[in-house]
Amino acid sequence: MAKSIESSSRSGQEKSLLRKLAPLGLLTVSLLVSLGAYSEKQKAFIKERDEGCQFPGEHNCGGKLIIHQIKPPAYSKKEGLDPDYPENGLTICSNAQRLIYSDLQRIPRDGVGKVMKQRGIKLKQGIPYWNTSFDMPMSTQATIKTQQAKTDGREFPTVKRRKKSK
């Protein structure tokens, strides 16, 4: 019971944060996505491992490099999985990110709330809200890069997680 209260409280806090930050547009989405994302050390490992944009699809490579979680944190957590493992992360450019999340293209600043609401509905229904056609090639690329890093003696940083109080 405590767990469900904690979860509903957290989602309420995230919704409140979304409402406050919605006028900021895509920055809001990036912030919310990062709430369940890798630690700074883990992000640094992935960026160093990948050495630039690793998006496998044709695109006009450009924009800021980001650590993309192939299976989004909210979706993974709904399935009871921890999304923060090295084979779930890949360095891509912001132009590639727009191909994965087509719902982020050309939305007005005040439209972020609608996008997030639609994502929430799809999440509850177990329907991916991103373009899944890139998932397998990206996972393969991340796995190969992680294996190469291990061969070179580099290990993915672990994060100590606090145990939830009951």
- State pLDDT tens for residues 111-153: 788 888 888 899 899 899 999 999 999 999 999 999 999 999 9
User: 164 pLDDT band (50/70/90 cuts)?
Assistant: low
Mean pLDDT in the chain? 79
| CA 82 to chain CA centroid, nearest Å | 12
Rounded Cα gap, residues 65 and 96, in angstroms:
10
User: 13 pLDDT band (50/70/90 cuts)?
Assistant: very low
| CA 94 to chain CA centroid, nearest Å | 13
How is residue 3 annotated by DSSP?
Answer: H
Instruction: Please give the pLDDT value at position 48.
Output: 96
Mean pLDDT over 62-91 rounds to: 91
- Where helices occur in the chain by DSSP H, the ranges are 2-21, 26-34, 40-50, 73-78, 94-100, 112-125, 135-151
Instruction: Please give the pLDDT value at position 163.
Output: 53
Q: Considering the entire predicted model, what is its pTM?
A: 0.73
For residue 23, give both structure tokens. Answer: 């006028």
Report yes or no: 52 and 91 within 8 Å, Cβ to Cβ: yes
Instruction: Please provide residue 91's backbone torsions phi and psi, each rounded to the nearest 5 degrees.
Output: -80, 125
- State pLDDT tens for residues 16-41: 544 554 444 444 444 444 445 799 99
